[in-house]
Amino acid sequence: MSAPSALAQDTGMPSAAPSASKSPPPLRVTSRAAPAVTKPDWKELSPAQQAALKPLAANWSGLSESQKRKWLAISKNHSSLPPAEQAKLHSRMTEWVTLSRQQRAQARLNYAETQKLAPAEKTANWEAYQALSPDEKKKLAAKAGPKDKGAATAIKPVPAQKLVKIPVAGKSTKSSPKLADVPRKLDHNTLLPRPAAEPVPEKK
């Protein structure tokens, strides 16, 4: 008994008869690559950084590298802040974590809009809002209407009087000047227009 057929009997597989055609290669099972871990990892942060970013601990691994850099920059002076300001920063982080991706995009747009206001105007608006009762705040939120579903801001239409009217092709307008049709002859060697013929001087 040949070695391949003996091996086939031992393993319970049919013996392969020698043939000209080769059997297909075995299938390779590939697993999906795990999402890349962005740096720095939570364990790589200093104890002070971990304390400053505590509300983000559970979601830290899911943040992009740029988001991590931003949060590290925001929380850099956390230890030097008064306790009330530290609590405020942590509450903002907690709120941010609970927002969906769409809500975060809307928050960025709202922030960009408030940056356009003068500091005094921002302060006045905030103080006026804080002075409202909870019921008035709810009414104000209801009056504002539903938030846009998309992250992009709506484009404001341009007023009609600011648009330039484009003349329709093929129709001539009375105000448009007509250019005189000047027949030009081409130079057959260069395919460029020939210069205008110079007058021949008269013979004396």
The per-residue DSSP string of 115-162 comes to HTS-HHHHHHHHHHHHHS-HHHHHHHHHHH-PPPSSSSPPPPPPPGGG
The pTM (predicted TM-score) of the whole model is: 0.42
pLDDT, one tens digit per residue, over 91-127 is 988 888 888 888 888 888 888 888 888 888 888 888 8
Q: What local confidence, expressed as pLDDT, does residue 84 receive?
A: 92
Give the C-alpha separation, 149 to 122, whole Å: 26
* Residue bearing tokens 């988001």: 67
Residue 55 has pLDDT above 70, yes or no: yes
Mean pLDDT of 14-34: 54
Give the DSSP letter of residue 21: S
Average pLDDT, the chain: 74
129: Cβ contacts below 8 Å, ≥ 6 apart: 137, 140
Phi, psi at 31, each rounded to 5°: -95, 150
Average the pLDDT over 4-24 and give the result. 50
Is the per-residue pLDDT at 35 higher than 70?
Answer: no
The CA-CA-CA angle for residues 187, 181, 199, to 5°, reads 55
If you average pLDDT over residues 14-38, what whole number do you get? 55
Mean pLDDT for the stretch of residues 171-187: 62
- The residue that leads in pLDDT, 6 or 90, is 90
User: What distance in Å separates the CA atoms of residue 82 and residue 33, rounded to the nearest whole number?
Assistant: 44
Return the pLDDT at 107: 85
Local confidence band at 132 (pLDDT 50, 70, 90 cut-offs): confident
How far does CA 91 lie from the centroid of its chain? 27
Residue 5 has pLDDT above 50, yes or no: no
Per-residue pLDDT, 134: 85
Residue 154 has what pLDDT?
A: 57
Which pLDDT does position 53 carry in this prediction?
Answer: 92
Q: What is the pLDDT of residue 126?
A: 84
Average pLDDT over residues 26-45: 68
